[in-house]
Amino acid sequence: MIDLGLLAQVAPPSGGLGDPGPQPDLLDARQMQAMSFMFHIPLVCFGISFPAMVLFLEGLWLRTGDPVYKRLAKRWSKVMLIMFAVGVVTGTVLSFEFGLLWPNFTATFGEVFGLGFALEGFSFFIEAIFIAIYVYGWDRIRPRLHFLCGIPVVITGITGSLMVIGVNGWMNNPTGFDVHGGKVTNVRPWEALFNDYLAHELVHMYVAGYLVAGFIVAGVYARAWLKGRRDRYHRVGLVVSLTIACLAAPVQLVVGDWAARTVADRQPVKLAAFEGLANTEKGAEFTIGGIYEDGALEYGISIPKLLSVLADHDPNGVVKGLNTVPKEDQPPVNPVHLSFQVMVFIGTGLAALAALYLLTWWRKRRLPQSKWFYRGVVAAGPLALVALIAGWVTTEVGRQPWVVYDVMRTSQAVTAADGLEIGYVFLAVLYASLAVAVFWLLRRLSRQPAEAD
Amino acid sequence: MAEVCLGLMIAGLTAYGLLAGADFGAGFWDLTAGGARRGGRVRGMVKRSMGPVWEANHVWLIFVLVIFWTAFPVAFGSAMSTLYVPLFGAMVGIVLRGAAFALRGQAATMGEARGLGAVFALSSVLTPFFMGAALGGVAAGEVPVGNAQGDPWSSWTSPISLLVGVLAVATGAYLSAVFLAGDSERAGLPDLVAAFRARALGAAVVTGLLAAAGLAVVSSDAPDLFDGLTSGGGLVCVIVSGVAGAATLALLWTGRFFLARFGGALAVAGVTVGWVFAQSPYLLPGELTLDQAAAGDATLTATLVSVALGLVVLLPSLWLLYSLVLRGRLDQAYEPLDQRFRP
Ligand code: HDD
Ligand code: HEM
Ligand code: HEM
């Protein structure tokens, strides 16, 4: 019988299952995990924000009795159900991957971060129950009860995200446990869940959810608008989704700044990677673009002192460089630098588009008229999606080479099993065909005349 | 406290086996329903009764996985890393089944419906098989403590694993037929009631035979598991399961489908709870006892508190969903699946 004490002597904090040793397929495991998230996250945005939009429309219908609101709400709730079904299955893949790809991460720290997922499981459960009652209950249960059944779906979208983000925040800012002789001890699960990274990550992701879903839905109606379909049905669909997205966009800049300052404070090396800053500098410059090669950022356009202003609101503030940690502890700079800049660039662009829209409403009480504005809205959906993925690559690849920052390396967390590349290719083919099928279905659904449902 | 967490896991596993197991079983009947025209009626009922509940039923699996990795992290890591082949298969099956079912609802031509239906039905059979094989691997003591230390193939292709896999598929089909018979009765479709009743009786006999064969295989391949099943708590559960199975047969024969649901549920619960008794005190037989695998008290307490809080909200919601469903308030109008495509 294996004496668990024996495992404890193994290399520090991999006391769970012992060090997996060299894993040739580590990159495959990381890419597979990244791909799995990139298929889940766009659905998460719809899971977070779409129920609130549908409920808003149903509320308008209940108050005014205007059938256009109801037709839109019913159509959107059908899309919501399909998004939710695919969100469920892609989320399940993520849960499996905690055991299939990162058994030692879960075996060592499962008791520390697991509580977040236990609570998340309940919010998913209630979300699944009430979304079924809501979508299948249209015109079958009393209108008041039907509207009330929509509210838990909105609430669980928030609590579900809160718990999951709490876990990701903990990975970036590990607390609530101690490590003695390679074993995790003195576990404080509530403290681990409500860590200091939860706040900004949750708000930033939550606002991103409204941005992505809002602009994608608005893009569908903007394209119809460009094609001349401007009846009341399309106008209401456009105004509701676009207004919500445009209110969220400027907020995202403020929250992004808050996120950047938290990272500057807690994960200086990650911020250095954002900016490709090799050495610690006072009044560091902000470089747009550029490729990071052996210690220097080439070909970028640099604006003096701006990085110090961004990092701690002081033009002469000191910003730590990558050289504060040994080479093997530094994250891959180029993907992080590129994705951070893409996210910020798109974020600023979306905020500008939103400002134009809100000003036109405020000053002229009407929708903008120029075709270029609507082409901008059509582009805004996919761009918000790119910013979303870029945001997560910033957070996760920026955290490398650690899976639990400064505590456990990704290479210690990975499974010792082989043949991971087969799994990776298989899942890639599966997800690609799933994406095509869902896109084909949603495209056809949007073509059906609204009266059909 | 570790025992209570184990109890929660087994309760979740039983609920998953019953509810999602029946959904997988519905996929089995979809697969074996015959051609588009002949099978249209059965498939129409499968779609109608699964629609509102399959997602909620599925979440029990997430509940079990989450409690497993929170309360028994080392056992979770060891089991998932060793049994990664069947569990990857089950994962893919879950994705295909869920997506195909959602997409088939929107199919515009018979060809699309048939293609998506095949994906849905096939994955509905493979997923329970892979999960059963993985559970069988754990019960047969094929999972050592460590990072992927067990053999990736023989750990789930032993006679016990294969048998538990097939038993999982058969039990799902049996339960599904019982539920669908009840749904057909509520929808006032006598021909479907007869069709599902016959399927339920057939599946019940097959499941019973498989269970008996299973006991024989376990007695030769896993003697200590067999001793557990034939003494103390294990024996009681086996008897309860057998009696419940026989009672359900009688209820089916006399057409009392609503009661047959509970008989079937008791039969399945007898198996899962009996397995725990048979295997105690081990979580991974011969490798890791429950107390060794358990996380620290702080985590176990926090988990139990959060589960208690969660249940306070979850149980009334589940009651609301199933009462609406069983009173037919969420039922779409019934139509054979191929009706939409008929000229
Ligand atoms: C910030 C948001 C967020 C993030 C980062 C993640 N998820 Fe997620 N997840 C959701 C927010 C969400 C959601 C909004 O609650 C979903 C999306 C659509 C839905 O149905 O619920 C969801 C669905 C969902 C489901 C199915 C829920 C159900 O059956 O209803 C599971 C099992 C997971 N997720 C698991 C994970 C895991 C293991 C993650 C990371 C390791 C993860 N998700 C990242
Ligand atoms: C919110 C909960 C999340 C948790 C618990 C989580 C957990 C993990 C884990 C365990 C890994 C593998 C180990 C590692 O590479 O560090 C990983 C990697 C990764 N995740 Fe996350 N993640 C979360 C959210 C996301 C989301 C929403 C995305 C969206 C795209 C994402 C993108 C990635 C990427 C790109 C990697 C690969 C990074 C690399 O290995 O270079 N993560 N994450
Ligand atoms: C415009 C200014 C923006 C700034 C300064 C900014 C800044 C940041 C920073 C510093 C992080 C890393 C946080 C961490 O590692 O914990 C981050 C993450 C992220 N960003 Fe942004 N961001 C901006 C805009 C956007 C936009 C427009 C989107 C999406 C539409 C977005 C989506 C995300 C997501 C999803 C994450 C990962 C989740 C998280 O860590 O909260 N960001 N952002």
ipTM of the complex: 0.87
Token digits of residue B274: 């009996």
Q: Is the pLDDT of residue B33 over 90?
A: no
Q: Directed axis angle between helix B110-139 and helix B36-50, to 10°?
A: 60
Residue A402 backbone phi and psi in degrees, to 5: -95, 145
Task: Return the ∠ at Cα B76 (arms to B74 and B81), rounded to 5°.
Answer: 100
Average pLDDT over residues B317-328: 87
**A451 pLDDT band (50/70/90 cuts)?**
low
Q: Which pLDDT score, from 0 to 100, does residue A11 have?
A: 38
Q: What percent of chain A has pLDDT over 90?
A: 43
Residues facing residue A298 across a β-bridge: A291
Q: Which amino acid is at A428?
A: A
Span B48-69, pLDDT tens digits: 888 888 888 999 999 999 999 9
Q: Give how far Cα A402 sits from Cα of A58, A174, A328, A410, B239, Å.
A: 46, 11, 11, 5, 52
Q: Which pLDDT score, from 0 to 100, does residue B316 have?
A: 93
Q: Which pLDDT score, from 0 to 100, does residue B243 have?
A: 92
DSSP state of A196: T
DSSP A126-192: HHHHHHHHHHHTTTTS-HHHHHHHHHHHHHHHHHHHHHHHHHHHHHHS--S-EEETTEEES--HHHH
State chain A's mean pLDDT as an integer.
Answer: 87
Among the listed residues A102, A106, A108, A101, the one whose alpha carbon sits nearest the alpha carbon of residue A11: A108
Q: Is the pLDDT of residue A240 over 90?
A: yes
DSSP state of A323: G
Q: Which pLDDT score, from 0 to 100, does residue A450 have?
A: 62
Span A252-283, pLDDT tens digits: 999 998 998 888 888 888 888 888 888 888 88
Whether the ω angle into residue B159 lies within 30 degrees of 0, i.e. cis, is no
- For residue A392, the CA-to-ligand 3 centroid distance in Å is 7
Q: Which pLDDT score, from 0 to 100, does residue A56 have?
A: 95
d(CA B259, nearest CA chain A) in Å: 24
Question: For residues B202-238, b (16+ Cβ closer than 10 Å) or e, as one string?
Answer: ebbebbbebbeebeebbeebbeebbebbeeeebbebb
Q: Which pLDDT score, from 0 to 100, does residue A157 have?
A: 87
Average pLDDT over residues B297-315: 91
Residue A404 backbone phi and psi in degrees, to 5: -115, 110
Which positions in chain A touch B70 (Cβ < 8 Å)? 110-111, 114-115, 117-118
B282 to chain A, any CB pair closer than 8 A? The answer is: no
Q: Select the more confidently predicted residue: A389 or B183.
A: A389
Average pLDDT over residues B243-266: 88
Given the structure tokens 């702080």, which residue do they identify?
Answer: B298
Token digits of residue A180: 């003695």
Q: What percent of chain A has pLDDT over 70?
A: 96
Residues recorded for chain B: 343
CB-CB contact of B94 with B24 (8 Å): no
d(CA A4, nearest CA chain B) in Å: 8
Residue A316 backbone phi and psi in degrees, to 5: -105, 15
Among the listed residues A271, A139, A251, the one whose alpha carbon sits nearest the alpha carbon of residue A206: A251
DSSP state of B18: I
Task: Return the ∠ at Cα B69 (arms to A400 and A209), rounded to 5°.
Answer: 55
Among the listed residues A333, A318, A324, the one whose alpha carbon sits nearest the alpha carbon of residue A281: A318
Which stretches within A65-142 are classed as H helix?
67-100, 103-136
Ligand 2 environment, Cβ below 6 A = A 30, 33-34, 37-38, 41, 102, 105, 164-165, 167-168, 171, 389, 392-393, 396-397, 399-400, 403, 410
Which positions in chain B touch A16 (Cβ < 8 Å)? 73-74, 77
Q: What percent of chain B has pLDDT over 90?
A: 43
Span B132-191, pLDDT tens digits: 999 999 998 888 888 888 888 989 999 999 999 999 999 999 999 999 998 888 888 888
Q: Is the pLDDT of residue A453 over 60?
A: no
